[in-house]
A and B are shown apart, each in its own frame.
Chain A
C-alpha cells in the first residue's frame, strides 16, 4: 500500500487516506476519526493539525500557521507537529498526497 511507512518531513503534504474520516460526532460532542474497526477520539491539538492536512498544504506551511497563531517558537512547534504527524502516519491515519493529484 502506497500510504504505508511514509516519512513525514516539512516538505510533505499529508492528507487522511480515504478509509480514515475525521468527523464531528454531534451525539457525543467530540471529534472522531473513523477507521476500519476503530473509532478514535483525537485531542484538540490533533484535530487542529489534522484539519490542516488537506493534501495541498505542506507541513512547513502548517508549522508556520500554527507558530503564528499561538505566537510560539517555530522550532518547538515543528518538533511537536512532525512527531505527531509521523505517529499518525505510522498508525495508517495519514498518507502522502500524490504528485498527480496536487
Chain B
C-alpha cells in the first residue's frame, strides 16, 4: 500500500489545467498534513493471506477504537486538512459500524475509499455504503480463478464472492479498483488477471508485487518470484498499459528485491502519509509497529493528531535526511528515495536506521538478493497462513480454510 496517494502517479498534460497536488511538493517541503490517511479499522479478517500487510502482532478486537472514537478521529482529520480517508483493515466491513463511519466521513467532507476483501459484502450492504456517500471501492484478488485464489486467501469460495461483489460495485456505478497482489505462485495468471479486471469493468488495476516484511517475510520462500518471472511481468504490464489505455489504468509496484534502487517508501518517512491502527496508534506506515524501540502515540492520548504528526518522536526519528548514516548521507539519491524502507531495513539488518538492503549500495544487498534468488529457485510452496495465533502452516489439501 505504499502507493496510496504518492507522487508521480498522474502527470497532467500541459493544456488540461490539472496538476497533481503532491507534485507541488507542498507536503514534502513543510510536512503539512497528508492529503490522505489510511484508517485500519480492525485487524480481524476472514482471509488468511500469507503476505498480509498487517503486523505479525495483530490488534485484538477488544482493543479497537469504538464507533464514537473513530468518528471523533474522522472529524479531527477533516478539520486539520485531510481530504481522503481509506477505510482498510484487516477487513473493514467486519466492523458492524462501517456504514455509520462512511456516513460520518461524508458528513465531515472526507472522500472515502473502501479497501476490502469483499467476502463479507452483500448487495444490500454495498448499496447502504453507496447511499452513505462511499466514493470508491478497491477489491483485492488473489488470482483469476478459485483454485489458486482460494488457496492463497485460505478461504473456500472467496474468489466467487469477490467476483459477485465487484459486479455489484459496478451496478451501483461506484468506481472499482482491482488490487492484485502478485508472487511466485500466481504470477503465471497475470495476463488472465488483467483480462478479469477488464471484464469486471474496473477503472484501475493495481499489480502489486508482495513487499517482504511482517507476514510476507515469514513466507518469503513460498512467495519470492524468480528473476525470469519479474522480467516477464514487467513486459506483460507494459504491453497491457499501452493496449488498455483509456479502458483500464494500471499501477505497477515492482518487487524491490530485484531493483537497483530502493523504493521511496511512503513517499519518505513522515512526509506525506500516516495511518491509524485499529487500537488508535498514529503510524508513519502500516508496518511501522514491527520496528521495536519506537514509541507510537495514540489518538487516545492527550495529544491532537496534528501534534503527533508534527512532534512525536516516532515521526521525527527518520524524517528528512539528517538521521541518515553512510552510504545514504553522501548519496546523490538521498532526497529521491529517502533511504528506502525503514521497516525493511529493520527486518533484514536489525536496525531501522540502516540503508534499506534493497539498495545496491547497502553492504547487505548482495547477500539478501542471493538468498531471495535461491529461495525462489528452491520452490518450497507451503504457506504460513496469517491469523491471531501467530500463523498456521498449510497442510496437504486443507488450504487453511
Mind listing 10 A-B residue pairs with CB under 8 Å? A28-B32, A30-B21, A32-B83, A38-B20, A39-B35, A39-B83, A41-B20, A83-B15, A87-B16, A91-B10
A5-B246, A18-B135, A38-B5 given; A33·B18 CB < 8 A? yes
Verify B21–A39 contact, CB threshold 8 A.
yes
Distance (Å) between the CB of A82 and the closest chain B CB?
Answer: 11
Neighbour of A37 across the interface among B18, B173, B204, CB < 8 A: B204
* A17-B170 Cα distance, complex, nearest whole Å: 13
Verify A88–B16 contact, CB threshold 8 A.
yes
Verify A36–B21 contact, CB threshold 8 A.
no
Interface band, chain A: 35 or more
Verify B177–A37 contact, CB threshold 8 A.
yes
Task: Determine the residue in chain B with the shortest Cβ distance to A87.
Answer: B16
* A91-B10 Cα distance, complex, nearest whole Å: 10
Verify B113–A37 contact, CB threshold 8 A.
yes
Name the segment of A42-50, A51-59, A67-75 touching the other chain: A42-50
Give chain A residues whose Cβ lies under 8 Å from the Cβ of B113.
Answer: 36-37
A4-B247, A19-B175, A23-B109 given; A39·B84 CB < 8 A? yes
| Chain B residues proximal to chain A, CB less than 8 Å | 3-5, 9-10, 12-13, 15-22, 24, 26, 32-33, 35-36, 80-81, 83-84, 109, 111, 113, 135-136, 138, 170, 173-175, 177, 201, 203-204, 246-247, 249, 251
Give chain B residues whose Cβ lies under 8 Å from the Cβ of A41.
Answer: 18-21, 24
Give chain B residues whose Cβ lies under 8 Å from the Cβ of A34.
Answer: 83-84, 111, 135
Neighbour of A39 across the interface among B36, B135, B170, CB < 8 A: B36
Task: Determine the residue in chain B with the shortest Cβ distance to A19.
Answer: B175
Verify A40–B10 contact, CB threshold 8 A.
yes
Verify B5–A28 contact, CB threshold 8 A.
no
A37-B9, A39-B36 given; A91·B204 CB < 8 A? no
* A83-B14 Cα distance, complex, nearest whole Å: 12
* A46-B17 Cα distance, complex, nearest whole Å: 5
Task: Determine the residue in chain B with the shortest Cβ distance to A88.
Answer: B16
Distance (Å) between the CB of B253 and the closest chain A CB?
Answer: 13
Kindly name the residue among A4, A37, A38 whose own CB sees the greatest number of chain B CB atoms within 10 A: A37
Verify B13–A87 contact, CB threshold 8 A.
yes
Give chain B residues whose Cβ lies under 8 Å from the Cβ of A30.
Answer: 21
Give chain A residues whose Cβ lies under 8 Å from the Cβ of B20.
Answer: 38-41
Q: Is A90 an interface residue (CB 8 A)?
A: yes
Chain A window 1-31, contacts with chain B (Cβ cutoff 8 Å), 1 for yes, 0 for no: 1001100000000000111010101111010
* A93-B84 Cα distance, complex, nearest whole Å: 17
Verify B177–A36 contact, CB threshold 8 A.
yes
Distance (Å) between the CB of A7 and the closest chain B CB?
Answer: 12
* A90-B249 Cα distance, complex, nearest whole Å: 12
Verify B81–A25 contact, CB threshold 8 A.
yes
Distance (Å) between the CB of A30 and the closest chain B CB?
Answer: 7
Verify B21–A27 contact, CB threshold 8 A.
no
